């Protein structure tokens, strides 16, 4: 439906957080390639529906990044399903996804569903703790990228530094392993310089918290990567 091949920039909006309408309007009209709705905790069906109905007043593509089964609803353009590659526990890699497919497998439109192989690199983040992650060495992180591309042939490999600006050199090394699999980078991008820097290596950069902390600067990240 949309050409994700060309996407470079995405905003991630958290259904558990509030934003004034005028900021939401500017995000939707910013020229970003898509808006992801998602977060780690307190993601409810009500919160998701509220954001979805607001964003739907605009033409920007909108994706639900599923963090729990209770908040899944029809009406999004796409659904991204995280699989946490560097979790210590198979629950976060495949068990909860399997459970969802046992329950809803008959009604899923597979055309809309995309797996994201997450490599969570910030031990201070909530999502690292929640998904019981292990911090990979550089070599191990590169091996996750290789698995995503060659073994699992995932559409997306998500290098997640949630809340912290990551190391562009590591991101570059991971990108070097990927041809078919798109590298999504997210974490700590709060201004246009950081957006430009990560965008050199990542196929798609995600800007999340900055929208809530400094929306004026966050909005400038769109033009920074779409020159
Ligand atoms: C369309 C429709 C109605 C379909 C119905 C059928 C259906 C329900 C299909 C679902 C199919 C499916 C396979 C679902 C999987 C369900 C599931 C529960 C997956 C779990 C995914 C997972 C591993 C979650 C763990 C947490 C995680 C990795 C979340 C990803 C998002 C993320 C990294 C958030 C970080 O957020 P951040 O903003 O950085 O956090 P804070 O700012 O709050 O710190
Ligand atoms: O909130 P930030 O740190 O921008 O991270 C964005 C995104 O990768 C979170 O899943
Ligand atoms: Mg967030």
Q: Could you read off the pLDDT of 79-134 as tens digits, one per residue?
A: 999 999 999 999 999 999 999 999 999 999 999 999 999 999 999 999 999 999 99
DSSP conformation class of 70: G
Low-confidence ranges of the chain (pLDDT < 70): none
- Calculate the alpha carbon distances from 154 to 93, 145, 199 in Å: 13, 10, 20
pLDDT at 187: 98
pLDDT at 64: 98
pTM of the model: 0.97
| Mutation pick for ligand 1 pocket among 14, 66, 120, 190 (CB with most ligand atoms within 8 Å) | 66
Give 188-191 contacts, CB < 8 A, sequence gap 24+: 188/161, 188/163, 188/164, 189/165, 189/221, 190/165, 190/214, 190/217, 190/218, 191/217, 191/220, 191/221
Q: Which atom of ligand 2 is nearest to the CA of 185?
A: 8
- Calculate the alpha carbon distances from 36 to 9, 27, 146 in Å: 11, 12, 25
Nearest ligand atom owner, CA of 130: 1
Q: Which atom of ligand 1 is nearest to the CA of 69?
A: 18
Enumerate residues lining ligand 2, CB below 6 A: 12, 160, 162-163, 186-189, 206-210
pLDDT at 2: 86
pLDDT at 137: 96
Cα-to-centroid distance, 146 and ligand 2 (Å): 23
Cα-to-centroid distance, 193 and ligand 1 (Å): 29
CA angle at 53 for the pair 48 and 56, rounded to the nearest 5°: 120
Distance from chain centroid for Cα 16: 16
> ipTM exceeding 0.85?
yes
Cα-to-centroid distance, 227 and ligand 1 (Å): 31
- Calculate the alpha carbon distances from 77 to 84, 160, 203 in Å: 23, 23, 20
């Amino acid at each position: 439906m949309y050409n994700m091949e060309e996407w470079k920039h995405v905003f991630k909006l958290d259904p558990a957080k509030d934003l004034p309408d005028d900021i939401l309007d500017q995000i939707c009209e910013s020229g970003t390639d898509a808006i992801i709705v998602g977060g780690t905790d307190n993601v409810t069906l009500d919160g998701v529906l509220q954001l979805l109905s607001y964003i739907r007043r605009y033409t920007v593509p909108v994706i639900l990044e599923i963090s729990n089964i209770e908040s899944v609803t029809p009406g999004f353009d796409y659904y991204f399903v995280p699989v946490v590659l560097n979790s210590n526990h198979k629950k976060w890699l495949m068990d909860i996804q399997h459970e969802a497919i046992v329950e809803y497998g008959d009604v899923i439109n597979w055309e809309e569903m995309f797996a994201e192989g997450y490599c969570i690199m910030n031990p201070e983040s909530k999502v690292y703790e929640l998904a019981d992650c292990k911090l990979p060495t550089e070599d191990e992180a590169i091996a996750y990228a290789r698995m995503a591309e060659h073994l699992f042939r995932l559409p997306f490999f998500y290098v997640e530094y949630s809340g912290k600006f990551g190391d562009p050199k590591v991101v570059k090394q991971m990108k070097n392993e990927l041809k078919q699999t798109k590298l999504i980078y997210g974490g700590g991008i709060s201004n246009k310089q950081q957006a430009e820097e990560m965008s050199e290596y990542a196929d798609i950069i995600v800007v999340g918290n900055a929208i809530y902390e400094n929306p004026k600067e966050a909005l400038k990240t769109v033009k920074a990567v779409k020159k």
